[in-house]
């Protein structure tokens, strides 16, 4: 009996019972525990995480495409953190913005926003800014040389809230129309942020988890012997604290059990769960982010009016895969007095010889897609007296090329298409544009393996960009 214990044992038992009660109160995910229940924001702010190891990185932040994104540093509790933010459209209007949190456990940003958005695994979030929705990609504490350390879903929640405050301060952003989205670990971070604050107009979580203790424990930098460390990072314990429309989306071949657990646990009508049959952890990203971008642009009322139906999601998933256009950047050839554009992710290699200017443009990546498999060559050289483009057109036609004679900025030009076989036996589609500027011949040659679609549109964008001084 308690009355037979000595005072020391009574104090120890009382302390254990009190600790257990506080844990049960903090962990409540169902109904309210009367006036004693802490909200997630209260519990999060009063909890001091203990890191078992300090991890960070000093990965550089690549320079973003000028006029599309700005590299900024937003203030947070640990100091200024790097982010990419859509540039000011310059129209004097306030626009909606989405903060997109990528997956994985790293806390940095790199060049993913403008790399190829694969249809079956598009983690870039680029569908939003390509549709006209301003976008912010924040890094977090410990990433990219930022102050602080990785906290594996704890301090990063504070950073997301700080990112919101920064976005809301921008004169071209509508602070009432700031959305939040993320995938995988980013989706879990977004869901925790939705439980922490109601400042976001709506939140979109792809592939979020319920209980973090069952996932990727090798990435946990916190004291894993403390159960509360897990609780403070596990969205399923705080579902009733979501006060803005929050949409959870996952494929049946992905983290489906996590979504079902959240759906079965939640009694919150602000939380909407969608399980897409036959899809994996990544397949919904490209088609559904396009759908969400359209809904954000249409969501112009005083209150959020975004809704989703399974029919809409199924229609989005049934789309034919699209081949997006890359960001294009201008390149000026001063000596030749000509400007043309090429994809921003490409690099330049000067291969000029004594009498010929030759530049090669190709992707810095080696991914299996039309952006990264295509290449462009620029040639410039003096023509011999008496040579004409008509003679060159005849020669090309006799070699099997389709050739059109045209004018380009008042200069005689040829545009054509053919197929070339290389030494390995592979075939490449070859588009070309040739212009004669006085005695100087300017030539652009575009190559893409016949197995890839999208080359016609990419060449057209390059050809239409050509301008002479």
Q: If you compute the radius of gyration of the chain from its CA atoms, what whole number of angstroms results?
A: 28
Beta bridge partners of residue 179, listed in sequence order: 98
Choose the weakest-confidence range: 6-15, 187-196, 399-408, 431-440.
6-15
0.85 surpassed by pTM = yes
pLDDT tops 50 at residue 14: no
Q: Return phi, psi of residue 393, to 5°.
A: -60, -45
pLDDT tops 90 at residue 451: yes
**Quick one: 8 exposed, middle or buried, by C-beta within 10 A (0-12, 13-18, 19+)?**
exposed
Helix axes of 155-169 and 185-196: crossing angle, nearest 10 degrees? 70
Give the rounded percent of residues in the chain with a pLDDT score beyond 70: 92
Predicted pLDDT at 35:
58
Closest CA to 336 of 283, 292, 382: 382
pLDDT tops 90 at residue 132: yes
Phi-psi group of 45: left, alpha or beta (phi > 0 → left; psi -120 to 50 → alpha; rest → beta):
alpha
Predicted pLDDT at 457:
96
Predicted pLDDT at 405:
94
If you average pLDDT over every residue of the chain, what do you get? Answer: 92
Choose the weakest-confidence range: 35-44, 149-158, 197-206, 226-235.
35-44
Predicted pLDDT at 383:
86
> Under 8 Å CB-to-CB from 304, ≥6 apart: which residues?
201, 202, 244, 245
**Contact between 419 and 450 (Cβ < 8 Å):** yes
**Paired tokens of 27:** 């962990």
Domains of the chain, each with CATH number or no CATH:
40-317 (3.40.50.1820), 328-468 (3.40.1000.10)
What mean pLDDT do residues 221-239 have? Answer: 97
Closest CA to 64 of 127, 111, 131: 111
What mean pLDDT do residues 414-432 have? Answer: 93
What mean pLDDT do residues 104-114 have? Answer: 95
pLDDT tops 50 at residue 31: no
Closest CA to 437 of 415, 411, 466, 414: 411
pLDDT tops 70 at residue 219: yes
pLDDT in tens, 316-328: 999 999 899 999 9
Beta bridge partners of residue 98, listed in sequence order: 135, 179
What mean pLDDT do residues 126-142 have? Answer: 98
């Amino acid at each position: 009996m308690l009355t037979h214990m000595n005072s020391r044992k009574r104090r120890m038992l009382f302390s254990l019972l009190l600790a257990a009660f506080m844990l049960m109160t903090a962990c409540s995910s169902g109904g309210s525990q009367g006036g004693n229940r802490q909200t997630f924001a209260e519990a999060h702010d009063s909890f001091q995480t203990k890191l078992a190891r300090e991890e960070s990185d000093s990965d550089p932040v690549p320079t973003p495409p000028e006029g599309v994104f700005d590299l900024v540093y937003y203030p947070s509790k640990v100091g200024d953190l790097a982010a990419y933010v859509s540039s000011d459209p310059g129209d004097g209007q306030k626009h909606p913005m989405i903060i997109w949190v990528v997956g994985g456990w790293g806390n940095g940003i790199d060049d993913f926003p403008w790399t190829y958005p694969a249809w079956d695994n598009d983690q870039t979030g680029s569908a939003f800014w390509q549709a006209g929705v301003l976008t912010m990609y924040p890094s977090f504490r410990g990433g990219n040389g930022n102050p602080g350390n990785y906290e594996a879903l704890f301090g990063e929640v504070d950073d997301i809230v700080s990112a919101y405050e920064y976005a809301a301060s921008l004169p071209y952003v509508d602070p009432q129309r700031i959305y939040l989205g993320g995938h995988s670990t980013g989706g879990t971070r977004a869901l925790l942020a939705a439980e922490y604050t109601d400042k976001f107009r709506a939140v979109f979580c792809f592939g979020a988890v319920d209980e973090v203790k069952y996932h990727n424990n090798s990435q946990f930098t916190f004291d894993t012997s403390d159960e509360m460390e897990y609780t403070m990072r596990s969205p399923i314990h705080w579902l009733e604290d979501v006060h803005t429309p929050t949409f959870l989306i996952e494929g049946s071949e992905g983290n489906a059990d996590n979504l079902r657990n959240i759906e079965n646990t939640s009694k919150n009508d602000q939380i909407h769960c969608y399980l897409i049959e036959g899809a994996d952890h990544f397949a919904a990203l490209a088609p559904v982010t396009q759908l969400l971008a359209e809904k954000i642009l249409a969501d112009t009322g005083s209150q959020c009016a975004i809704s989703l139906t399974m029919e809409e999601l199924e229609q989005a998933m049934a789309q034919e895969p699209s081949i997006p256009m890359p960001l294009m950047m201008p390149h000026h050839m001063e000596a030749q007095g000509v400007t043309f554009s090429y994809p921003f992710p490409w690099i330049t290699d000067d291969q000029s010889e004594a009498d010929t200017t030759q530049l090669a443009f190709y992707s810095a990546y080696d991914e299996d897609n039309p952006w990264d498999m295509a290449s462009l060559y620029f040639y410039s050289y003096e023509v011999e007296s008496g040579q004409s483009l008509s003679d060159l057109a005849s020669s090309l036609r006799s070699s099997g090329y389709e050739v059109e004679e045209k004018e380009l900025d008042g200069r005689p030009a040829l545009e054509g298409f053919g197929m070339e076989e290389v030494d390995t036996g592979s075939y490449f589609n070859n588009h070309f544009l040739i212009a004669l500027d006085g005695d100087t011949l300017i030539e652009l040659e575009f190559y893409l393996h016949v197995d890839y679609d999208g080359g016609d549109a990419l060449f057209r964008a390059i050809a239409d960009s050509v301008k002479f001084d």
